[in-house]
Amino acid sequence: MVANGNRDGRQGEALVLKGVDPETCMIVFKNHWAQVVKILEKHDPLRSNTSSNMASAVQNYVEHMLFLLMEEDAGQAGAMGPILEFVVMENVMERLFLWSLRRQFTDDMKLEQLKMYEMIVGQARQPLLHHKPVLRPLMMLLSSCSGTAGPEVEAELVSLLNQLCCVLAKDQSVLELFFHTSEDQGAANFLIFSLLIPFIHREGLVGQQARDALLLIMSLSAENQRVAQHIAENTYFCPVLATGLSGLYSSLPTKLEVPGEEWHCLHREDWLQMPTLVQFLNSLEFCNAVIQVAHPSIRDQLVSYIYNGFLVPVLAPALHKLTLEEVMTTTAYLDLFVRSVSEPILLQTFLSFILLHRHENVHILDTLVSRINTPFQLGTVSLALFQTLIGLYCEDVMLQLILRYLIPCNHMMLSQRRVVKERDFYSVSAAKILALTPSCCSPEHSPPPLRQLDSILWSKGTDNSPNTDPSGDHPPPHQEHAQIYLDVNYLHYLYNARLGISSCTRACQVWSAPYDGEDPPPEEYQPSALEEAGARGRQAQTVNPKRSHPHPRPRPPCPPQTTDPAPTNQLELEWDDSYDAGPVVPPEAATAESSRPPQPPAAEPPKHIQEMRRTAIMLVKGSYIEESDFQDDVMVYDLVAKKDARDTVDRRRPSRETLPESDMDSEFTLEEDHFKVSSLQEKDEVPLSNGLSLPPHPTNMEVNSLEVTKGSKEVKAHVADHNSNLQSPLATEVGDDLMDQYEELIRTLGSDEAGTGGSSHVKTVDKEFRNPVVTPMEEDEVDFSSFSVDTPELEKQHSSLFGTKLRSGSTRSHSVPFTGPFVSVLLSRLENMLDNSLHVNLLLTGILAQLAAYPQPLLQSFLLNTNMVFQPSVRSLYQVLASLKNQIEQQASTKKDFPELITSAQHCLLARESSLKGQDTNSGDSRECSPLEAGRMMKSSPPPQPKTISLARTEVFATVLFTEFLKELAAIAQEHSILSHVPMEE
Amino acid sequence: TYLNDFWEKGRSDGEEQSGEQQQQRASPARPSFGKKQLPSIPKNAVPITKPASPAATAQLANGTHASYGPFYLEYSLLAEFTLVIKQKLPGIYVQPSYKSALMWFGVIFIRHGLYQDGVFKFTVYIPDNYPDGECPRVVFDIPVFHPLVDPVSGELDVRRAFTKWRRNHNHIWQVLMYARTVFYKINTMEPLNPEAAVLYDKDVQLFKSKVVDSVKLCNSHLFDQPKMDDPYAISFSSWNPAIHDEAKERMFSHKRRPEDHQKGLPVSGLSWVKPGSTQPFSKDDNPPLS
């Protein structure tokens, strides 16, 4: 009530107070305090029941005192005002706190005290927190509120913490004090930070406030080495964040209910309907923000935990689940995550997971690429993921997907290498591409408005040129106007091509090489130069047919390495005992490691594993407590209370009240007491007279009993460990068997944020994890390994199954030129354009257009240069387009109604386009439509409502789309001929 | 002379900008839209010609060329123009006309030699079957006294240097380069202006004085209205601080602009590839992931 009821009253008093001189205020304050002290001394709540009268009397006095304190101005030159000085000298705040602590320290009282501090911290006219006698009881209060409080107290606690962080952000000088105050209780700590951690993943306002407050501290850490070091080395901030992602992820639906066949990615409207996904994205966004502002040491740690604690152990297995739907869902999630992350370092984490991580010895990337060829929705969703990836303008992505196959220039005839950089001066390629326009779609055949042939009056602009011609053998230029028909629609394609290429070119300025057939030099990346690597590759093939496709992983000309990059080896480690084998080193270090003397294997698992383990346990237990940080604080105050309780006969107790002041003494005593309590605690006989609870018991938890038992054991061991600071580490004894179950643990973490509450759910999830229920009859049960592009014998299988044709060239070896599985799969799907559904074709052509807009000559020449002569085994985009044209012409010649159908389809697509145009303005998710796509003739999304033609006539829609795609490609080729050859500054 | 300096700096700047404008014109700026919106008709309609060479027509059998041919021509000329910019020819500035990409306005500054201090405006006429036609023509606004310049029409004899215009080998910048060279290396063979040729061979002193007169004459007409009524025609005016000071300022600060411009934009591209490597995430400053 102290703070509660008085806000209004205070307003009135403030007016009254104006003009009252400071001396009078001081006298009043002292009087009040004298009254309070009297009551405090007479009525110790532990001896006699304090009457509520007394309590309210104290409250009344305190109220007035606080008000006077708040209204007091600072003295001269920033000195304390007299009231504050008195508060400090007499240790007023601490005595008040201890008094209330000894009463029934209920949630209501906590709430009261929290509000009191929130008020004086927020409204005092002079800095209060600089003074230990004010700060310390605040800290005690905070500790006592941690862990067990009800929702109201939590909300108030977080609100106060948030306020304190704001003060910190403004005035870093307080920071030192925050650390020092804690030091009084032993290890240095940063209580307000630790207290916020359990709220990281909380929903709603409390979580938001906590995350905001933490972000303030994160930006503080960027400037303050000490804060950074503390957070990185002494707190579980990063592991909690990362494992929290895992926990939140496990509560996402494993199967999405997709609105329709054309659905291919999670749009904003989609995920806003899914609270669990919103919550996950909030946490991901928070990670993103932390990485953005925090000190590099924290940033790197967090990134590493996200990789090793979320991506590898959770997302990788999720990407390899057993049903199509589940895998499709995971792929859609991954796509959404990549689109949601903006901070380059976090993006890099996701990308290196996708590009380099190997799950069960297969690169995630290869798996994803191979899934493009699945004829189900998984294929579409996979395409959408790649559209996102390509839209990142990321060199590493493009290198792994395509460029590394093009660098050796083996896909073209040797004589063609000089052509790579050549510019197409006269739009020859564009003309050749447009010449593939099916006759049924040629500009003259379609009436407006479908074909916007526009009559343009143009002048040759030679109006005033001199009519004389010295040689007289060519006709003099004359004024000439002509009406011609142009496909005006094409201007839009040109415009969009220009936008797309410009932004892509600008983005690629940060790339390491131009990829122009000279840099990186093709000679250095020839298979022959990589003989050793090749040999290894073949070896691997015989061992594991899954890996049979030869990735000609080009290597830098530095020291000879193994075929696979060191990072991969590192990153593929699973959550198992292998961690115990040795310290986990960063990828670079791993490479360098070989040159160093071998390090003795670590006796213990790496630190971060230990930490992860602990965190996971604590999460499972339902409430996160960072024992080494503030648990002891909590205990201190708990013990103060209990000690008091036992000391009722001890007349000398008043001196104990101010116990923390005599540091040496108190620490000693407490340590002793602590052990007693620990032993008491084990017997579950701790008399808790003051409402403070001890560190979490497994009482209410019905989680996996095994884990819990272990968990509590662990925690106890840690407590003991902590208390006997320098003694031999007890914790490690408990560790080993636990390690085995770690992976499961992490998975079963559950459902809810920080694992609270959802024990039954956890069980369910766990069960699913262990025994994925797959009915053999389920139609979508497919062995994904069969979709691997590079498994020839399986190819036949699924081509017969699903009608997709794969390149015969996939039984390739190092000597056979190969442009990579991604290009191969894309072209395969494109080849089936006439059978593909409209939305698949939209995605496919979108991706190819996106690729074509890249300015790198290797890519440009491969995709757009129709004059290039490729090796016979290499299929080019132009070849595929040409074969499509033939297929279309054949259709057109055999089907009488083809022209009418084309017209209907065009109308239908036009209607769809204009309906989408209206929607465009509403959807704010800009990354969901790339600049290239933005102007495409037709866009994907809701199903069109054809009036006269069924979407099942895929060949008709494909024909229309094909024609538009030709224009899109031609426009890109034309813009390249002028844009890619002008230095960017110009 | 200061004017000249100013002009040179100015042109190089203006040229870039006008190049930009020109290119935008080719594909008019428009809000993001659906393709099917009927665009406004560009003011400077894309020039068209009779169909290109028979060979090209034959190749493009199904009539797409008729609809797209003008785009090919336009882009060919734009490509030529970007090539001119890239060459940074000393003392030569050109700018395609507003009305047609087939007509370029130019000016050439002669910095030493017989024609020193000459500022000659000219127009380049490109045949509309480019690149399969004849060589582009260069016509000086005022017939300069020169053996290779027609004393009546002002046309420079370019064809002697490009007897056969070969696509992919010959480019318009070479024509401009040639137009510059003739003022430094005088050739009197088969002259268009026999008088100048004879004088140069027989009486260099008289030739020189005639050249000086001609240069004076040209320069005295420098501030005349452009011969052609075209927004992009090159026009000179005397120094006007109210206009030119500010423009000059802008030009000098222009040099710094690209960087500033880039700083403002978020870096949209990503790369963690170490230069010289083809391994993803090979850069040293990658944060360790384990």
3-class secondary structure, B104: strand
Q: Does A425 touch chain B (CB under 8 A)?
A: yes
Q: Residue A584: name the closest of B248, B68, B39, B289 by CA.
A: B289
Contacts of A498 in chain B (CB under 8 A): 23, 27
Rounded CA-CA distance A417/A403 in Å is 15
In the stretch 307-326 of chain A, residues with CB closer than 8 A to chain B read 307-308
Q: Are strands B103-109 and A358-359 parallel, antiparallel or unpaired?
A: unpaired
Q: Are strands A358-359 and A362-363 parallel, antiparallel or unpaired?
A: antiparallel
Q: Does A252 touch chain B (CB under 8 A)?
A: no
The CA distance from A483 to the nearest CA of chain B, in Å, is: 9
CB contact under 8 A, B45 and A986: no
**CB A317 within 8 Å of CB A359:** yes
Q: Considering chain A, what percentage of its residues have pLDDT values greater than 90?
A: 30
* Mutation for B interface: A486, A558, A936, most B CBs within 10 A: A486
A361: left (phi over 0), alpha (psi -120 to 50) or beta: left
CB contact under 8 A, B76 and A425: yes
Integer angstrom CA distances of residue A710 from A465, A603, A618, A741 = 95, 21, 11, 11
Supply A398's token pair: 């493009």
Rounded CA-CA distance B50/A144 in Å is 90
Place of tokens 């007349």: A651
How do residues A17-64 score in pLDDT, each as one tens digit?
566 777 888 888 899 999 888 888 877 666 666 567 777 888 888 888
* pLDDT at residue A62, as a whole number: 87
CB contact under 8 A, A355 and B281: yes
Rounded CA-CA distance A112/A4 in Å is 7
Contacts of B159 in chain A (CB under 8 A): 471
Contacts of A586 in chain B (CB under 8 A): 288-290
Model confidence at B279: pLDDT above 80 = yes
Contacts of A470 in chain B (CB under 8 A): 150, 153, 155, 157, 192
| DSSP annotation of A253 | -
* pLDDT at residue A750, as a whole number: 35
Q: In which band, very low, low, confident or very high, does the pLDDT at B206 lie, cut at 50, 70 and 90?
A: very high
Rounded CA-CA distance A740/A359 in Å is 19
* φ/ψ (deg, to 5) at B119: -125, 105
CB contact under 8 A, B289 and A570: yes
CB contact under 8 A, A495 and B29: yes
Residues in contact with A76: Cβ distance below 8 Å, sequence separation at least 6, in sequence order: none
CB contact under 8 A, A588 and B45: no
Model confidence at B75: pLDDT above 80 = yes
Residue B265: burial class (beta carbons within 10 Å; 0-12, 13-18, 19+): exposed
Q: Residue A858: name the closest of A819, A812, A907 by CA.
A: A819
Q: Does A529 touch chain B (CB under 8 A)?
A: no
The number of CA neighbours under 13 Å toward the Cβ of A809 is 21
Q: Does A471 touch chain B (CB under 8 A)?
A: yes
Rounded CA-CA distance A425/A428 in Å is 8
**CB A96 within 8 Å of CB A62:** yes
Supply A122's token pair: 């927020």
pTM listed for this prediction: 0.69
Q: Residue B104: name the closest of B15, B233, B236 by CA.
A: B233
> Which of A444, A449, A970 is facing B63, going by the closest CB pair?
A444
Rounded CA-CA distance A485/A845 in Å is 27
Contacts of A978 in chain B (CB under 8 A): 23, 75, 78-79, 82
* pLDDT at residue A762, as a whole number: 37
3-class secondary structure, A854: coil
3-class secondary structure, A726: coil
CB contact under 8 A, A464 and B228: yes
CB contact under 8 A, B227 and A464: yes
Q: Does A294 touch chain B (CB under 8 A)?
A: no
CB contact under 8 A, B269 and A507: yes
- Report the chain B residue with the minimal C-alpha distance to residue A495: B27
- Report the chain B residue with the minimal C-alpha distance to residue A508: B269
Distance between alpha carbon A472 and the CA centroid of its chain, in Å?
A: 73
3-class secondary structure, A259: coil
CB contact under 8 A, B192 and A444: no
* pLDDT at residue A579, as a whole number: 27
Q: In which band, very low, low, confident or very high, does the pLDDT at B288 lie, cut at 50, 70 and 90?
A: low
Euclidean distance between the first and the last CA atom of chain B, given in angstroms as a whole number: 67
> Which of A573, A938, A977 is facing B79, going by the closest CB pair?
A977
ipTM metric: 0.78
Contacts of B192 in chain A (CB under 8 A): 470
CB contact under 8 A, B159 and A471: yes
The CA distance from B25 to the nearest CA of chain A, in Å, is: 10
Q: Does A464 touch chain B (CB under 8 A)?
A: yes
Contacts of B153 in chain A (CB under 8 A): 466, 468-470
Rounded CA-CA distance A866/A874 in Å is 14
Q: Residue A240: name the closest of A630, A534, A626, A695 by CA.
A: A626
Dihedral over alpha carbons B116, B119, B122, B124 (to 10 degrees): 70
CB atoms within 10 A of CB A21: 8
Per this entry, what is the length of chain A?
986
Supply A449's token pair: 């408005």
The larger pLDDT score, comparing residue B63 to residue A284, is at A284
The larger pLDDT score, comparing residue B109 to residue A613, is at B109
HEC sequence for A215-237:
HHHHHHHHHCHHHHHHHHHHCCH
3-class secondary structure, A870: strand
- Report the chain A residue with the minimal C-alpha distance to residue B19: A986
Q: Residue B119: name the closest of B207, B209, B222, B203 by CA.
A: B222
Q: Residue A908: name the closest of A935, A948, A876 by CA.
A: A948
CB contact under 8 A, A466 and B153: yes
Rounded CA-CA distance A110/A117 in Å is 11
Residue A104: burial class (beta carbons within 10 Å; 0-12, 13-18, 19+): middle
The larger pLDDT score, comparing residue A72 to residue B91, is at B91
CB contact under 8 A, B273 and A489: no
Contacts of A482 in chain B (CB under 8 A): 48
CB contact under 8 A, B99 and A520: no
Residue A479: burial class (beta carbons within 10 Å; 0-12, 13-18, 19+): exposed
* Mutation for A interface: B12, B68, B86, most A CBs within 10 A: B68
Q: Does A508 touch chain B (CB under 8 A)?
A: yes
User: What stretches in chain A show pLDDT beneath 50?
Assistant: 1-15, 183-188, 448-453, 455, 457-479, 529-606, 608-814, 921-947, 984-986
